[in-house]
Amino acid sequence: MQDNIEILIDRFYKGETNSLEEELLLNYFTQERDSLQNNADWDVFQALFAAKTSVPPELEQKIATLIDGWEAQEAGEKKRATGRYKIEFRMRIIGIAASILLVIGIGFWYQYQNVGNQSGLHETFNTPQESQEAVVEALQLFSHNFSKGTSAMEKADEQVDKTLKIVDQLLSEKAVDTKVNQVSQNQ
């Protein structure tokens, strides 16, 4: 019997007992304290089951009403927040569209301000020779700047190669030193 009570007490503390098992424990702990072996458990059960409190019948209705009120309030807040976010999103889209239209309008105004309604696209050179000379000059400038960049890259590549050679040399020297140390330790 005592072993069964110990098992029930362990299950009770783990929260695994049903109401019938808890009733058995209550009956067991309502005995005289002197006849029990578990005085600490007796104190716990006396504290838990000493005062039977009754729940007023209107309390459940009050709690349900309170919870429903909170749910309604939360739903209203979510609805207002969702509506506010939609309005903010729409305002941002409208602002972006207005900015784009403003930039396009300024572009058209700038393009047509001095020329009237004529297109701003017209030939910039009077003869094909002038345009050819401008293209050749632009290509020579590009070639010159490109060769500057490649020569700088070649110098950097040479520096990297020198550094790698030094690192390889140091690593090979260290490998030789460790082999010599191993051989000398073995002898």
Residue 136 lies inside a defined structural domain of this protein: no
- Tally the domains of the chain: 3
pTM score, two decimals? 0.27
pLDDT (tens digit, 0 to 9) for every residue of the chain, 187 residues total?
567 778 888 888 888 888 888 888 777 777 755 555 666 777 777 777 666 667 677 888 888 888 888 888 888 777 777 777 788 888 888 889 989 999 988 888 887 776 654 544 455 778 888 888 888 888 888 888 877 777 777 887 888 888 888 888 888 888 777 777 777 777 6
39, 33 contact by CB (below 8 A): yes
Could you tell me the residue range of the domain that residue 105 belongs to? Answer: 58-121
Place of tokens 């090979």: 172
Is residue 49 located within the same domain as residue 62? no
Residue 139 lies inside a defined structural domain of this protein: no
Q: Among the three residues 12, 34, 53, which one is the final residue of a domain in this structure? A: 53
* Residue 42 vs residues 11, 38, 103: alpha-carbon distances, Å: 16, 6, 84
Concatenated DSSP letters for 115-157?
A: TTTS-S---S-SSHHHHHHHHHHHHHHHHHHHHHHHHHHHHHH
- Position 82, amino acid: T
**Cα Dmax for the chain:** 122
